[in-house]
Amino acid sequence: MESRAKLFGHSVHQMLIVFPLGLLATATVFDVVYWITQQPGWAEASFLMIVAGIIGGLAAGVFGLVDYLGIPRHTRARRVGIIHGVGNVIVLGLYAVSWVQRIPSEGTPPQIALILSVAGATLAVVTGWLGGELVDRLGVGVDERAHLNAPSSLKGKPVPERRTARRRPGVAPFA
């Protein structure tokens, strides 16, 4: 089940997601550094990274939704996809509330803003793993022979052999 939204042969969602993940994770690292040092420059940088990360997350989410809608119903991939997507909406919500809490603080964010940042990063680790499960284990968005009901990688079971695609005359079989 290949991605429905591609650019130069690659999934747009997978290309875009690196930006919000990197920006939001770095914002949380800067929040921790601020928490330790109390130097407002770290909190100010985090404030700006959160804004950029939320915008990037919304853009990536649009393409993720397009791919999700292409996953056949009643498959494990569809179930994992909904948890991944809803989880990421919650991640963006946690960071958005953290950002709003910072607006009146002028470089010294309240403790709740920092806690929300850490909570968002923690949940992003889980939703990122789920995204990896979709791509690496289930083949969503990358392989037309995807096995959309493969068992969880946490179970330690191998992925069943993928279905073979129909061969077209003159086209080499899959490796």
Phi, psi (5° rounding) for residue 31? -65, -40
pLDDT in tens, 153-174: 787 777 666 554 444 455 444 4
In a domain, 170, yes or no: no
In a domain, 163, yes or no: no
In a domain, 168, yes or no: no
Instruction: State yes or no: pLDDT of 138 exceeds 90.
Output: no
User: How many structural domains comprise the chain?
Assistant: 1
In a domain, 96, yes or no: yes
**Cα separation of 47 and 24, whole Å?**
10
CB-based contacts of 91, cutoff 8 Å, min separation 6:
24, 57, 120, 123, 124, 127
In a domain, 144, yes or no: yes
**Cα separation of 118 and 167, whole Å?**
49
In a domain, 169, yes or no: no
Decide: 90 and 164 in contact? Cβ < 8 Å. Answer: no
Mean pLDDT of the region 92-121:
94
In a domain, 171, yes or no: no
Range of the domain at 60: 6-153
pLDDT in tens, 17-54: 999 999 999 999 999 999 999 999 999 999 999 999 99
